[in-house]
Amino acid sequence: MRPLILRYGLSLDGYGSPPAGVPEDFFLEYDEDEEFVAHMAEVLGSAGVHAMGSQAYRDMAGHWPFQDGPEAEAMNRIPKVVFSRRPIDTPWATTTVCSGDLVTEVEALKAQDGGPILAHGGVRFAQSLVRADLVDEYHLLVNPVAHGDGGPLFTEFTRLRLVDVKSFPKGNLALTYTRP
């Protein structure tokens, strides 16, 4: 059974989505941090499939096909699964749309052969995966900014076990957790 890994960005104060007026992409000096870019390329390239909510899919499909480099190569080469209750255009090759029950669809993906399922998405999609206890590993990317408000990733008590920490020159952290 392959694991579902949630790759998710957080502010230093733990918010997964910023309040109004704060840009969604709040990673500071991302492109100027070669170590962080290399880490992201490694994480993205390790996936057997990229799973995401419909909004994240639209955002990424409008960005990655027009980029170069190891991150873009991983995002464009690896198959995608998008979870959407409504019809959605799928401009990326090798995209599958799942419109059924999230738990049933994810369990079916986990049962398939292949590399890990790397989940990306907005706060609602991520919260749905967490609430349904579908996440096997959390790759949390913490940026050195505080929002003071926004959408949290966790909405109830959740115990995790830290398995890896990486820090990067521009202040980003990559924290890897599993369930105990």
Q: Answer whether 0.85 is exceeded by the pTM.
A: yes
pLDDT value at residue 121: 81
Q: Which stretches in the chain have pLDDT values below 50?
A: 27
Q: Structurally, what CATH architecture does the domain formed by 4-172 represent?
A: 3-Layer(aba) Sandwich (3.40)
Q: Of 86, 83, 41, which is closest to residue 64 (Cα–Cα)?
A: 41
Q: Where are the domains of the chain?
A: 4-172
Q: pLDDT over 70 for what percent of the chain?
A: 95
Cα–Cα distance, 72 to 44 (Å, whole number):
9
What order of strands is seen across the sheet that includes strand 49-53?
Answer: 95-98, 80-83, 49-53, 117-120, 4-11, 137-143, 173-178, 161-167
At 8-34, the pLDDT tens digits run 988 888 888 777 777 665 545 566 788
